[in-house]
Structure 1
Amino acid sequence: MHESEHPAPARRRHWRLLRAAAVAAAAATIAGVGAYAAEWRPFGPARPAVHPDAVAQAEAFLADWAGGRAEGAGARTTSPDRAQTTLRNFTAGLDITAPSLTAGAASVAKDGTVIIAFSAQMPVTGLGTWSYDSQIPVRRQQDGAWKVAWDLSLVHPNLSSTEKFRLQRQSTEATPVTDRSGKPLSATAGPSLKPMLTQIAHRAGAGPRGAIERINRVSEEVTGVEARFGKEEGAAAGQSIRSTLDSTWQAAADQALAATAGGRDAALVALRIDNGEILAVANSPVAGFNRALSGTYAPGSTWKIVTTSALLLGGAVKPGDIVDCPKYLTVGKQFHNVETSEFPGATFTKNFTESCNTGFISLRDKIGDSELGDVAAKYFGIGQKWNVGLPTFDGSVPVPGGQTEKAASMIGQGRVLGNPLTMASVAATAASGSFHQPTITPDAQDKTTTTALPAKVVTQLRALMRVTVTDGTARGLADLPGNVGAKTGTAEVGESAPNNGWVVATRGNVAVAVVVEGGITGGSSAVPVVRHLLQAVPHDPS
């Protein structure tokens, strides 16, 4: 396999540093790599720079908190014992599992305190996700080290010495959810269904109801409501809720992950190409975070479908053009291919089918700095707000902060983020030429605005994805019937962590995307999952 080995941001944690007025976006480095940036005013002296050690400490604090390591998170603060106790009580008392905490912009206060904003997605068991924003103050200590300045308000802006939170549940009778044909769905058909069925019912107002209340610590009097879950009036008693899921595809998707993912964390989405209806969503493990729909991953070389679209749309390259693929290419840092492979005198088609990073990066000057994100949004709907019917992360393609970051973006690294949902949609759009917002409930409204890809570009993308199967990195799918097309990907998640393996594939009217965390390469880890799935379900859904 010959996919990316360029470092990518840590999952579910990315952040941007913005400059004021007319100054361009400052460079940002994601999770675990430290960041160093400054904010400027349009007039007057520059503000102090954001120290990278302060940002790193804040990110590590968020990582420990999200990972359930309260002791580790507390040790990064100025009050370890209090912080540890509060964080544990907060998540346990509110029945929060697998928080997702994403660092945002950083700034420097007048006293030198570094302020890092963050967004919190707090899944409350059986009810839904509580979302809010807060910020972390980090101060330099006398010994020169940076520590989180502990305060209750950093956990939540309204948590204080006088007020705390309480979870109130109101149980309701479960409402059945059916698949696209009206067949009742249950976790016996696919383990991944269990949390999703609750969420679908909840979105329809038929699931459990509850609230997170703010109360006075002394009197226990309710002083406000932070979040409500469920609707006062939902589906009528005994009335079922129809989804777009297909029982056969869902069962096969769960079985494919169980049989071929090797026990690693993994996720899969399958959807219809012609209308975006989701046929299956599978996660391993099943409990906790829905990485298939809400994960934030670097998509690696599967993103080259979008990069290729941008190049073809602008006439920057043709499939038969010679694009040299050397072992190494330096753009601020050294980029290379998996196993340092090289293809001297290769065509662009060869670069695509063998997923040559250096060849793609060499074409970076042929597209504008914002062009990749513009194409992703205009033609693929990436970064627009999707209304799927369940909570989702709909992709992000920030304007690169410099040439090194632009080079990384060309191969689906840097700050480009997606998940199996967004990448299955990318594959579907490439196959059909038109973006169809993915949906899991038939009544989900599409408020996106996109443009169809030119027919010539669609023809070229289909051909490139087909050759990737017959003579490229996805050749593990070559003997399957049905004119399968695909693009593999390998995305690094850090200097010491093993790569994530990716693949997107199309067959008939179905598009599939799979990510296997720590899977090393897409061809070795993700392709077998798709192969198992397509063999198990040889026909398109009706």
Structure 2
Amino acid sequence: MTHPSSPPDAVFGHTTTRRHRGRRPGLRAGVAVTVLTAVAVGSAYAAGLGPFERDDAPDPAAVAQAQAFLADWAGGRLDSAGSRTTSPARAQKVLRSFTAGLDISKPELTAARATTEDDGTVRVAFTAKMPVTGLGTWTYRSELPVREQENGSWKVDWSLSLVHPHLSDTAKFRLEREDTPLPKVIDRNGTSLTGDAHPSLRPVLTQFARGGSGPHGAIRLVDRATGEVERTEATFGKKDGQPSDKPVTTTLDATWQAAADKALADTTGGKNASLVALRVDNGEILAMANSPATGFNRAVSGTYAPGSTWKIVTSSALLLKGAVAPDDVVDCPKYLTVGKSFHNVETSEFPGATFRKAFTESCNTAFIGLRDKLGDAELGDVAREYFGVGQEWHVGIPSYDGSVPVPKDETEKAASMIGQGRIQANPLIMASVTATAASGRFHQPTIVPGGKETTSTKPLPSSVVTRLRALMRATVTDGTARVLADLPGGIGAKTGAAEVADGRPNNGWLVARRGNVAVACVVEQGVTGGGSAGPILHSLLSAVPGDPS
């Protein structure tokens, strides 16, 4: 994979001006700091400070901020990581570009020794272990400069070099994958799967290389302007050996995969999009597709706000505790202010709406108005305990398994009710959520039969499942998913429009269930789910009218 030359803030970095400010005199005079023990990204870190080191002892608040930054970065909470720096927007952009552009999944970032400089800057060293998809782990060391701000808080002083010491405004990284013999990969029925026949599987097929040499490649440091290689940062794989003669069996279905690739190729209009189809009864993945087909696997590793498709989980939480019933009047005004003004798509309103109407028309204000019915942590608890979201999944390829943090304030709680705020998911997660709502039981998604199962969930009560099915069916017959209404099979669905940063158009979402198949699709900048993801899933379900064998 190669990238064109780019300005500092376009691909893997940007420039900032570092501000140096000395410590305010007397700020911590007479304060003895003896022992600081902290945990960073799952690893313990202790700094023992003797009685003669008071003046140079790192401020605990500075170290805590550095550790929180590393934890957010490792956990994929890049907006939160950015907010802990002196340049939030640029930090978020670079961290996202760095991990996505180099196909890095689930970084492991471990804090080490912290020191204080003469000007008061606290430097926290850390070790980075970056798993490069399908190749191996890139390990390096860097450090975080943390500076005290005018208001007394501490921020990570943003610069490109803290991401990696060699990243700069003149040099960036490039991931190069070298051609390597791949094992034969077959679908659930023994049909051969190839990159030529199934374009979206090209990146995935390399991840199944086993035996022999496996895939190989390198991370190069290159000049931003010329693309000339300055040095090799890491190499992966051996160039001798042959792949195993034994074919790799997957849960994929060649028919569903071909239809998924075609649906994206024909109906995305050039927008980035991805989808996943899986079996409801056991979580086996039938198809995953991305547009563009090469590069980052958004379908299973992307991090998106799920928007109103998340109302399936919110509704489950409300129904589980009897906080609302389908015929209860919840109202649906155009606007509702909770710290900020929330509104419905196209500022629609439905006075005197029932909860059923609020669900089928995807009324944001009605759901936000029910936020006091749930405790602050309750939505995340339901997502984890019933839907498996946020637990560690073993899919068979690298995946992002979702995040539902406890809201920081009332505004964020309101946003989380409609799948915004800091909630993150992807089509794999939302296809699984749809399957769980339809069957009542979570099944860990998998692409390789017999995968490791480490999740622990509870079944949804049958009364909740019955209501969820009815709500999703009504969304197709009478609501925002009417785009699927002409298809047979008693399809149930939920649309979503998820706001994104920088004033860009909403991402469009649609999830659906027909028989034993659950599907989920997201279209970046698709504006509405029915208008952008709707035609894609209509094409897919039309092309494959029956359940998989």
C-alpha contact (below 8 Å) 1:66/1:101 kept by paired residues? no
Q: Quote the residue 2:189 is aligned against.
A: 181
Match of 1:243 among 242, 250, 259: 250
- CA shift for structure 1 position 126: 6.3
Match of 1:375 among 382, 399, 411: 382
Q: What is the distance in 2 between the residues matched to 1:128 and 1:530?
A: 35
- The answer to whether residue 346 in structure 2 is matched with residue 339 in structure 1 is yes
Match of 2:432 among 413, 422, 425: 425
- CA shift for structure 1 position 108: 12
Match of 2:458 among 434, 451, 462: 451
Cα distance change, pair 285–135 in 1 and its aligned pair in 2 (3 A): farther
Residue identity opposite 2:93 in structure 1 = A
For the residue of structure 1 that corresponds to 2:531, the secondary structure is helix
- The answer to whether residue 423 in structure 2 is matched with residue 416 in structure 1 is yes
Aligned length: 456
**Per-residue Cα deviation, 1:44-93 (whole angstroms, up to 9, x for no partner):** xxxxxx9998725255145247548xxxxxxxxxxxxxxxxxxxxxx9xx
- CA shift for structure 1 position 332: 0.8
Taking only aligned residues, the RMSD between alpha carbons, in angstroms, comes to: 4.3
- The answer to whether residue 463 in structure 2 is matched with residue 463 in structure 1 is no
- The answer to whether residue 517 in structure 2 is matched with residue 487 in structure 1 is no
- CA shift for structure 1 position 141: 11
- CA shift for structure 1 position 275: 0.4
Q: What is the distance in 1 between the residues matched to 2:342 and 2:276?
A: 30
Cα distance change, pair 266–119 in 1 and its aligned pair in 2 (3 A): farther
- The answer to whether residue 275 in structure 2 is matched with residue 276 in structure 1 is no
Match of 2:334 among 307, 327, 334: 327
**Per-residue Cα deviation, 1:448-467 (whole angstroms, up to 9, x for no partner):** 00000000000000000000
Q: Quote the residue 2:19 is aligned against.
A: none
Cα distance change, pair 132–455 in 1 and its aligned pair in 2 (3 A): farther
Q: Quote the residue 2:324 is aligned against.
A: 317
Q: What is the distance in 2 between the residues matched to 1:331 and 1:147?
A: 30
Residue identity opposite 2:351 in structure 1 = P
Cα distance change, pair 334–125 in 1 and its aligned pair in 2 (3 A): closer
Match of 1:530 among 517, 528, 537: 537
Cα distance change, pair 519–505 in 1 and its aligned pair in 2 (3 A): same
**Per-residue Cα deviation, 1:368-427 (whole angstroms, up to 9, x for no partner):** 000000000000000000000000000000000011000000000000000000000000
C-alpha contact (below 8 Å) 2:253/2:286 kept by paired residues? yes
Residue identity opposite 2:192 in structure 1 = P
- The answer to whether residue 300 in structure 2 is matched with residue 293 in structure 1 is yes
For the residue of structure 2 that corresponds to 1:374, the secondary structure is helix
C-alpha contact (below 8 Å) 1:98/1:122 kept by paired residues? no
Cα distance change, pair 177–296 in 1 and its aligned pair in 2 (3 A): same
**Per-residue Cα deviation, 1:275-316 (whole angstroms, up to 9, x for no partner):** 000000100112221110000000000000000000000110
- CA shift for structure 1 position 113: 4.5
Q: Quote the residue 2:205 is aligned against.
A: 197
Aligned sequence identity (%): 62
Q: Quote the residue 1:263 is aligned against.
A: 270
**Per-residue Cα deviation, 1:322-344 (whole angstroms, up to 9, x for no partner):** 00101111111111111111100
Cα distance change, pair 170–188 in 1 and its aligned pair in 2 (3 A): closer
- CA shift for structure 1 position 483: 0.5
Q: Quote the residue 1:27 is aligned against.
A: none
C-alpha contact (below 8 Å) 1:429/1:435 kept by paired residues? yes
- The answer to whether residue 403 in structure 2 is matched with residue 396 in structure 1 is yes
Alignment of 1:492-511 (within 5 A): 492-511=499-518
Cα distance change, pair 355–141 in 1 and its aligned pair in 2 (3 A): closer
**Per-residue Cα deviation, 1:97-126 (whole angstroms, up to 9, x for no partner):** 456799999999785658899998967586
- The answer to whether residue 67 in structure 2 is matched with residue 60 in structure 1 is no
- CA shift for structure 1 position 182: 1.1
Q: Quote the residue 2:485 is aligned against.
A: 478
Residue identity opposite 2:298 in structure 1 = R
For the residue of structure 1 that corresponds to 2:199, the secondary structure is coil
Specify every segment of 5 or more residues in structure 1 that has no aligned partner in the other structure, as ranges. 1-19, 22-38, 42-49, 69-90, 160-164, 214-224
Cα distance change, pair 65–365 in 1 and its aligned pair in 2 (3 A): closer
Q: Quote the residue 2:394 is aligned against.
A: 387
Q: What is the distance in 1 between the residues matched to 2:192 and 2:217?
A: 26
C-alpha contact (below 8 Å) 1:271/1:424 kept by paired residues? yes
C-alpha contact (below 8 Å) 1:302/1:412 kept by paired residues? yes
Residue identity opposite 1:174 in structure 2 = L
Q: Quote the residue 1:15 is aligned against.
A: none
C-alpha contact (below 8 Å) 1:335/1:357 kept by paired residues? yes
For the residue of structure 2 that corresponds to 1:302, the secondary structure is helix
Specify every segment of 5 or more residues in structure 2 that has no aligned partner in the other structure, as ranges. 1-35, 38-58, 62-79, 168-172, 221-232
Q: What is the distance in 1 between the residues matched to 2:437 and 2:242?
A: 38
- CA shift for structure 1 position 201: 2.3
TM-score, normalised on structure 1? 0.74
